[in-house]
Amino acid sequence: MKIMLAHNFYRGSAPSGENLIVLEEENVLRRYGHSVFPVYVRTDLSPSLNNYMEILARAINPIFNKKIYSTASRLFKKHQIDGLHVHNMF
């Protein structure tokens, strides 16, 4: 089965249990013969306070992130994904 795994990694300096579980789920799926296509986002990177466009983008991205949408859409079409497992996208 071809599975897309989506998750937002946050708190990279002190990883949450949820972050570790996602990585383990990816390993388990692969061990059982599934093809896994991860779409991982990292939102713990601090924007520059001088870059107003980046700050604005960070405010809008939780609602709709065009970059992630394009990546996921491209993967779905290219690999004919069978299922999507979303862990945390906020």
In whole angstroms, how large is the CA radius of gyration of the chain?
15
Alpha helices in the chain (DSSP H): 17-31, 52-60, 66-79
Q: Is the pTM of this model over 0.85?
A: no
Per-residue pLDDT at 36:
96
Mean pLDDT, consecutive 10-residue stretches, the chain (90 aa), reads 88 73 95 94 63 64 72 89 82
Per-residue pLDDT at 46:
57
Of 81, 88, 87, the residue nearest 4 (C-alpha): 81
State whether the Cα torsion 36-6-58-70 is positive or negative: positive
Per-residue pLDDT at 3:
95
